[in-house]
Amino acid sequence: MLDARRSGILMPISSLPGPWGIGCLSAHARDFVDSLARAGQSIWQILPLGPTGYADSPYSSFSTHAGNHYFIDLDRLVADGLLDEDELRGLDWGDDPARVDYGALYASRNRALRTAFASAPSPDADPAFGEFCARCSPWLDDFALFMTIKGLQGQAPWQSWPEDLRHRRPDAIAEIRDSHGHEITYWKWLQWVFDAQWSDLHSYARSRGISILGDLPIYVAADSADAWSHPELFDLDEHLSPRRVAGVPPDGFSATGQVWGNPLYDWDRHRDDGYAWWVQRMRRQLELVDLVRLDHFRGLESYFAIPAGHATAADGQWCPGPGMDLFDALREALGPLPLIVEDLGYLTDGVIDLRARSGFPGMQILQFAFDSREPSDYRPHRFPRDCVVYTGTHDNDTLRSWYGALAADDRAASVAYLNNARTPDEEIPWDFITRAMTSVANTCIVPMGDYLCLDGTARINTPAVPEGNWQWRMLDGAFTDGLADRVSRLTRVSERAPAHPRGTT
C-alpha cells in the first residue's frame, strides 16, 4: 500500500497560525504546504475535519461527513466583499496566539460567518450551490436539519429534544423545514464554502507533491447527525439512548480505562445492508483526502462495550466486530483502499491476524520503544517495512516533554540504543526523529511540535483528560526555511525524498 520510502508531518489544521483564533484554510495553510515541499516531505497528516462538539475534540464531531466551519478562511470572505476586516479585528479571538480559545471562537467565528451569509447573494440562485447540495444530499440534508434544530433547542443534545423531533416524526420535521428554511440553507451554505476552500487547498497540495493523510474515527459522537438520522444502525434502546457505549479497558493512559461514550454499532444491521453507510462514509473521506488513517482499528476485530451510565470501564466486555467482512465490502464498492490502520492498544492474535489479512500498514510509536510498560516490538530493529513509524501521535506528549519525564531506567535504555549521552536537552528530539527517519519503515510521520523541539505546551491531546486539549497552535514564522532545509537534508539522506519534488528545479 505504502511501498515507497517517504515521510510527512503531523499538523492539525487548527494548529496553523493566523489572526482569527484558529488555524484555517488560509494563506498560512498554503505556506505550510510550501514548507512541506521545501522540506522534501510527501505527506501532510491532519486530524478529522468534522465540526467539533463536546470538549472540542475532532474525534467527537456533529457529523462524520461535514467539514468544520471554523476552518473557513475569513480573509477570503473579506476579499469576496462579504466581511469587513476592521469589524473582524473588533471581535474577541482570544489573547494567546499559541492557543485556541474555543469560548471566544464560538462567539466570534459564528458571528462573522452569519454576517458573511447575510451579505452573500442568495445561494439558491447559484447553480454551483445546487450541484453541491445534490451531490452531498445523502448526508447534507440531515446535517443541516440537525444543526438547525440543535440551535432551536439551545444546543441541547438530540437525545433530550422533544419526542417528535427526537424520533424524526414526519409532521414535526416538515414543520421545521417550512418554518426555518433560511437557517437550513445557512448550514448548507457553510458546507458549500468549506468544500470549495478545502478543494482549492487540496489541489494546491497535490500540485506541490503533497498527499493529505486524513483521519477517520471508528465511532461517531452520540450527539451527531449520524446517530440522529440513522438510529437503526446503532445499539440504542426504544428511547434512542445507548444501551452500551464505546471505550477501552485500563491501559498506560488510564488506570480505570476510558469511557468514550460513543454509541456502538449494530453490526448485524450494517452487514444486512452491505455496509452501505460505511461505504458512503469512506467514499466521502476519499473525496476529501488522499490517504486515510483508520482510528482504533482493533475495534473492528473486537470492540469494548461498556454499559451506558457507568463512570469507568471496569464492567466492560469485548464483543466481536465485523472483521474482514467490512473491508471486503468497502473494497468491492470503492476499489483499493489507501488506508493506514491505528493498530495500537491491547492487541490480541485476532487483531494482528486481521491487520495482516487486510494488507494495510500499521503504526509504530517510537516513544513506546523506550517505555518499559510497552512490548519491545516498538524498537526500530523489530519494525516491518510495511508500517508507518511515528515519533509520537496527537495523543502523546512532545518528545522533549516526554523525555524529560522518562523513568531513569527507560532513559538509560534510550541513551544506550541511540548513543546520545552527549546530546543537549534541546536537541534530544532530533535523535529520536533521526532514528525514526532512518528506520526500515516505509513511511515516517513526525508531529510538527517535535520538529520544533517544543515542550509539553505543544501537546495536542491528553487521553482521559477532558479539558485543555486540541488548543496548541504554531506561532507564525516558526517553520522557518532553515528548519525546512534541515528536515530536507535528513529526508534525503534517509532516502525518503520524492524523486522529482514539485515546484523545484
Backbone angles phi, psi at 362, to 5 degrees: -100, -170
DSSP summary character for residue 310: -
Q: Output the CA angle 28-33-39, nearest 5 degrees.
A: 125
* Residue 285 neighbours by CB under 8 Å, 6+ apart: 214, 216, 292
Q: Which are the contacts of 465, defined by CB distance < 8 A and separation ≥ 6? A: none
Backbone angles phi, psi at 138, to 5 degrees: -55, -25
> CA 311, 312, 315: angle at the middle one, nearest 5?
110
Q: 31, 295, 325, 374: which is the annotated catalytic residue?
A: 295
Q: What is d(CA 391, CA 368) in angstroms, rounded to the nearest whole number?
A: 9
Q: Which of 84, 395, 410, 455 is catalytic?
A: 395
DSSP 60-110: SBS-SSS--GGGS-HHHHHHTTSS-HHHHHTS---S-TTB--HHHHHHHHH
| Beta-bridge mates of residue 238 | none
What are the cell numbers at 499? 524523486
Residues 6 or more apart whose CB falls under 8 angstroms from that of 171 comprise 164
The residue annotated as part of the active site, out of 56, 142, 195, 342, is 342
342 in catalytic set: yes
The three-class DSSP label of residue 295 is coil
395: annotated active-site residue: yes
To the query of whether residue 377 is one of the catalytic residues in this protein, the response is: no
Residues labelled as active-site residues: 295, 342, 395
